[in-house]
Structure 1
């Protein structure tokens, strides 16, 4: 796991890093655009990748996109990546005569 994946940043720090209000960050969570972890006490923890993602989401919103459009676009990109990964695994299996 990369340091960018570790969920260690509090919502207050994310707000400072992104310029977004804590309310806006929670809204993006409600809209299923970002997925912080929760500590046993309920504190949200974000990763550096989440920070980058929130900045990207804010830029898209500023450009006029709606949250459902962003989510739909990201789901489409994820499906494309899954297909690419399956194709690559198939090519590697064929090239090296590997079986699942």
Structure 2
């Protein structure tokens, strides 16, 4: 993902009404997911919730899991694991590339 795509996906500029239209979720459902600590919108100076496109994707994923009967607690637990899994994947790929191209890791032990 390029820096431009990253900033575009993470910039919180979308209001809850638009998010509701994009996702098909009610504003109440979106607020509920926030209460359950599954989504973390920013707030404007007037208190308006602001979401990113990444948040919209997360909400769609949450809604799909909820339809499949997954509870919010279980979703939150899985969300906590994702950063660790991503870090592990990157580390494994880096190791594979280093091994493939004969790059030695000069880290102190």
Q: When the two structures are superposed, what TM-score results if normalisation uses the length of structure 2?
A: 0.76
Structure-1 separation of matches of 2:18 and 2:53: 11
Deviation readout 1:38-81 (Å, 9 max, x if unpaired): 01110000000000110010000000000000011111222222
**After superposition, where does 1:15-94 map in structure 2 within 5 Å?**
15-85=20-90, 88=94
Structure number with larger C-alpha Rg? 2
Q: How many matched pairs? A: 97
Q: Structure 2: give runs of 5+ residues left out of the alignment.
A: 1-5
SS at 1:2 equivalent: helix
Q: When the two structures are superposed, what TM-score results if normalisation uses the length of structure 1?
A: 0.82
